[in-house]
Amino acid sequence: MHEKILLVEDEKTLAKALKFSLEKEGFQVDVAYDGEEAVRAIKNEEPDLVVLDLMLPRMDGFEVCRSIRRGSDIPIIMLTARSEDIDKILGLELGADDYITKPFNTRELLARIKAILRRTGQHAGPAKKILRYGDLQIDFARHKVTVGERVVLLTSREYALLSFLASNPGRVYSREQLLEQVWGYNYCGDARTVDVHIRHLREKIEENPAEPRLILTVWGTGYKFREG
């Protein structure tokens, strides 16, 4: 029941404070102080979620993230000092699940951790359904998305966003509604996060991402999944 979090942060004071706060919430927390230690800990400790600082000695957060993603889809929340990094962080290559910009409020980090774990905890749910839209097929039971014969590799957030939209075809959602429904908390207003994920999803599932036919933009409002 006690979910295990690996905290990767070289600033010892911050690491200690975060460990304390997370443990107070009932999590089991391991701390790694550099990237190499983090990669080892992920193999040995099999955490449920990783909180990963971007600026680390020896091997930075990007490298660690890439290394994790080669073998695992474990949820990753990146800590970054610069919001310009988000495109790369949430991107195809790295595939972190979320990010938080330093300095941050511990409660906000906790909310994000809980939202992600709530969502990943639902994976064993009873959904046994397959949705098909043209060449796109979403197998909810197996969390598998295919376009024709091609298996599409999605990050867990991309999958959550796609399955949410595709389960409600034709319904228009604003970015704020998507943040609330898919991210699971009241995101403090960074709607770009939604746009970045939509763009990546389109690159992965649309025949021509520049002229999307599955995930449609509703100008001035938000997005919807095509009907029928």
Tell me how far, at minimum, the Cβ of 56 lies from Ca ion, in Å.
Answer: 6
Point out which span in 52-60, 65-73, 144-152, 169-177 binds Ca ion (CB under 5 A): 52-60
Instruction: Work out how close the CB of 55 gets to Ca ion at its nearest, in angstroms, rounded to a whole number.
Output: 4
Cα atoms found within 13 Å of the Cα of residue 50, Cβ hemisphere only: 33
CB of 32 to Ca ion, least distance (A): 12
Q: Does 85 bind Ca ion (CB under 5 A)?
A: no
- Least separation in angstroms between residue 62's CB and Ca ion is 13
Interface pick for Ca ion out of 37, 48, 53, 97 (rule CB under 5 A) = 53
| Of the residues 21, 36, 45, 55, which one makes contact with Ca ion according to CB under 5 A | 55
Closer Cβ to Ca ion, 10 or 36, answer by number: 10
In angstroms, what is the minimal distance from the CB of 66 to Ca ion?
17
Compute the distance between CA of residue 69 and CA of residue 96 in angstroms, rounded to an integer. 9
- Residue 21 Cβ vs Ca ion, minimum distance, rounded to whole Å: 17
Instruction: Dig out the tokens for 95 from the structure.
Output: 């595939």
**Closest CB to Ca ion among 53 and 158?**
53
Please list every residue from 4 through 23 that binds Ca ion, using CB under 5 A: 10
| Nearer to Ca ion among residue 57 and residue 189 (C-beta) | 57
- Residue closer to Ca ion, measured from CB, 81 or 141: 81
CB environment 213-226: b (16+ within 10 A), e (fewer): ebbbeeeeebbbbb
In terms of CB distance, is 8 or 182 closer to Ca ion?
8
For Ca ion, which stretch binds (CB under 5 A), given 30-38, 49-57, 183-191, 214-222? 49-57
Cβ neighbours of 16 (radius 10 Å): 13
Q: Which stretch binds Ca ion (CB under 5 A): 54-62, 128-136, 155-163, 193-201?
A: 54-62
Question: Distance of CA 149 to CAs 24, 38, 136, 146, 213, Å?
Answer: 47, 36, 10, 7, 19
DSSP string for 140-200: TTTTEEEETTEEEP--HHHHHHHHHHHHSTT--EEHHHHIIIII-S---S-THHHHHHHHH
- Report d(CA 22, CA 1) in Å as an integer: 14
CA distances 65 to 45, 79, 158, 178, Å, are: 16, 12, 17, 25
Residues engaged in binding Ca ion (CB under 5 A): 10, 53, 55
